[in-house]
A and B are shown apart, each in its own frame.
Chain A
Amino acid sequence: MPHTKGPHLVRGARPLGGDPVDLLFVDGLIAETGSGLQAPEGAQIVDATGLIALPGLVDLHTHLREPGREDAETVASGSRSAAMGGYTSVHAMANTDPVADTAGVVEQVWRLGREAGYCDVRPVGAVTVGLAGEQLSEIGAMADSAAQVRVFSDDGICVWDALLMRRALEYVKAFDGVIAQHAQEPRLTEGAQMNEGCVSDRLGLPGWPAVAEEAIIARDCLLAQHVGSRLHVCHVSTKGSVDIIRWAKERGCDVTAEVTPHHLLLTDDLVESYDPIYKVNPPLRTAEDVQALREGLADGTIDIVATDHAPHPVEAKETEWSTAAMGMVGLETALPVVQRTMVDTGLLTWAQVADRMSAAPARIGRVSGHGRGLAVGEPANVVLYDPEAPVDVDGAAMATKSSNTPFRGMTLPGRVRATFLRGAPTVLEGKIN
């Protein structure tokens, strides 16, 4: 591990955006908080004047690409990217090659994460063998493995078979797991390239209708309630989905949902450039959808922000639109985008940001040791964020191995200054430590 473990005294940080205090980290824990703390011998002092302290962020939806696509990202490069974004824990999606559908693969990813040491990597297990949607993978073995998998997803592909979905929802009850569904009705989205609407019609690109997402979410909510299991909805992207999830929660369904930073900010008219940097699944939607997603995140209908960090090599994006890969990197821009779309707009307080980006995702993923707040005695997983340090986004300057950020050329309002994983700085002064 590259970073130093000794005591760290953070001076003048504002926990959850509150009044400035000092935070002392010793032996991986938050040892003391208060003003004018005495630095113990050998402690490194971090000046955090003006910085906001949040619990280390937890991402429930990250593509680390290893094994199989190490040209796009590795567990090591992806976890460095996570640390740069303020994350102390990420969930590595199962659509690797080979697919993370056995205990062997999830343990390998988990071990690679520990060796890298920049954040805790929690593998997500595939729901079905090879993501083929036909046969349940060995979910129990993955749950019992060293990786302790609790989140299962065929992300990228929808578990479209209603019966298979029912069985998966039922099966994970045995170990308090959750099925994270990529809601996409396959027949309604054959060949789909972007949100179906005015822009797709004008551009002559096959559309991905909102109903293809909403119909699956509605079905899955009903199924989850019927079998009494937990459902998590990945990357909600439409106004209708927010309405359905709100309705499902009201009738007592144990459903949680995530929204990505890009769906909180970007709209489908960006596709008019035909630049595949804006190609993603689910697609960018309309301004009306963006507004509904922000409101849903604010009122708790949508529980968390998850990045869907999806690195791709340059050649996968430097093509005509229809052959380009879908996905965007997002770990290093998530918090600034949330600041811009949710905090600067008055929709969320910093304490609520800590909930949506740390506590709630840790709870859904059953990640112990993360998302626990900034009280004395808790693990010192902390991010120091400067909300008044605008940054011009440049994919090439990021820690991720890929550079496919849709925010390139934009100015985002803040940046992560430091990230601590169990008291050790993984990022200091905005650089990997």
Chain B
Amino acid sequence: MRHLLSAGDLSRDEATLVLDTAAELAQVGDRSVKKLPTLRGRTVVNLFYEDSTRTRTSFELAAKRLSADVINFSAKGSSVSKGESLKDTALTLQAMGADAVVIRHSASGAAHRLANWVDGSVLNAGDGTHEHPTQALLDAYTMRDRLGRLDGLRVAVVGDILHSRVARSNVLLLTTLGAHVTLVAPPTLLPVSVHTWPCEVSYDLDEVLPKSDVVMMLRVQAERMRDSFFPSVREYSRNYGLDGERLNRMPAEAIVMHPGPMVRGMEISAEVADSPRCTVTEQVANGVSLRMAVLYLLLGGS
């Protein structure tokens, strides 16, 4: 594999290697010189068609810690916004000698398409409602770091599964790594064929919580209400939001995760978001190590 396009492309050994490598590279953040020379002379392009300061910064920092040259190519204010096609942008980056392109795009499959047009590695940093593999990897890393294992871990993913690239990547990766995933959402926010996915499905958060080691809350956009996915924010929050009371029904060691950005008062209460059992900031920190690992494994060798 030259690219990281889908979390489903990783075998168990490969995924474990990424996590192990990330664990080693996590030390770099604690050193006096927070930099490794490994990718010196390599060029990494961050090609972001959607605003995502969080993910872009994480990739940028990861690449810089490995001494790669980083170019941020955002759609706004560039030729992209003047109607240049993805293919022409790809050929431009190719001509500039990009060794890797990190792409975030609103269209599902954009990273797959890009991989046809460039010689370098393509890293999918989120494509439409398809996948976000490095998010799933950093989530798995965080779970393993906090709870010591992934095999047999019970993970509930709660929220807008239908439109979530994070959920898709997590189902694939966590299943590969031996965890048991349960998706929790109102039926309108689940894909029609979800019963064919390698996970459990529930419409009842309260029934799932006591049996979960991890609960991952997904962002729910209020505009989904206008499209009749649920009647009101209040009803959604009442049935599927995580508040302190619900948190107390989880096992004592269980953790709360969120890929960010959180909508406090919608899917998660402020009390839970600020609780020490919530790993949101750890996920951000781990994201840098994880992305270093992926960049190293894709670009570090021949």
Contact = CB atoms under 8 A, between A and B. Distances in A.
A and B touch in the complex (CB under 8 A): yes
A197 interface: yes
Interface string A308-342: 00000001001111110000000000000000000
A194 to B, nearest CB: 10
B105 interface: yes
B193 A197 contact: yes
A192 to B, nearest CB: 13
A198 B193 CA distance: 5
A203 B109 contact: yes
Contacts of B60: none
B113 interface: yes
A201 B192 contact: yes
Interface in B156-179: 165, 168
B44 to A, nearest CB: 21
Interface residues of B, number: 23
A275 B115 CA distance: 12
B196 A322 contact: no
B109 A274 contact: yes
B193 A321 contact: no
A203 B85 contact: no
Given A196-B192, A198-B193, A320-B105, A204 B110 contact: no
Interface in A162-210: 193, 196-198, 200-207, 209
Interface in B89-109: 105, 107-109
Contacts of A273: 112
A320 B192 contact: no
Interface in A243-293: 273-275
B174 to A, nearest CB: 16
Contact of A274 (B85, B113, B165): B113
A201 B86 contact: no
B196 A204 contact: no
Contact of A320 (B107, B165, B194, B197): B107
B108 A322 contact: yes
A367 B55 CA distance: 61
B196 A198 contact: yes
B168 A202 contact: yes
B193 A205 contact: no
Interface in B187-244: 191-194, 196-197
A196 B109 CA distance: 16
Nearest to B163: A204
A322 B65 CA distance: 35
Contacts of A204: 108-109, 127-131, 165, 168
B146 interface: no
A201 B193 contact: yes
A321 B168 contact: no
Contacts of A206: 129
B168 A319 contact: no
B246 interface: no
A197 B107 contact: no
A35 B108 CA distance: 61
A169 B93 CA distance: 55
18 contacts: A201-B192, A201-B196, A201-B197, A203-B130, A204-B128, A204-B131, A204-B168, A205-B109, A205-B129, A209-B192, A273-B112, A274-B112, A275-B113, A319-B85, A320-B109, A321-B107, A322-B107, A322-B128
Interface of A: 193, 196-198, 200-207, 209, 273-275, 315, 318-323
Interface of B: 85-87, 105, 107-110, 112-113, 127-131, 165, 168, 191-194, 196-197
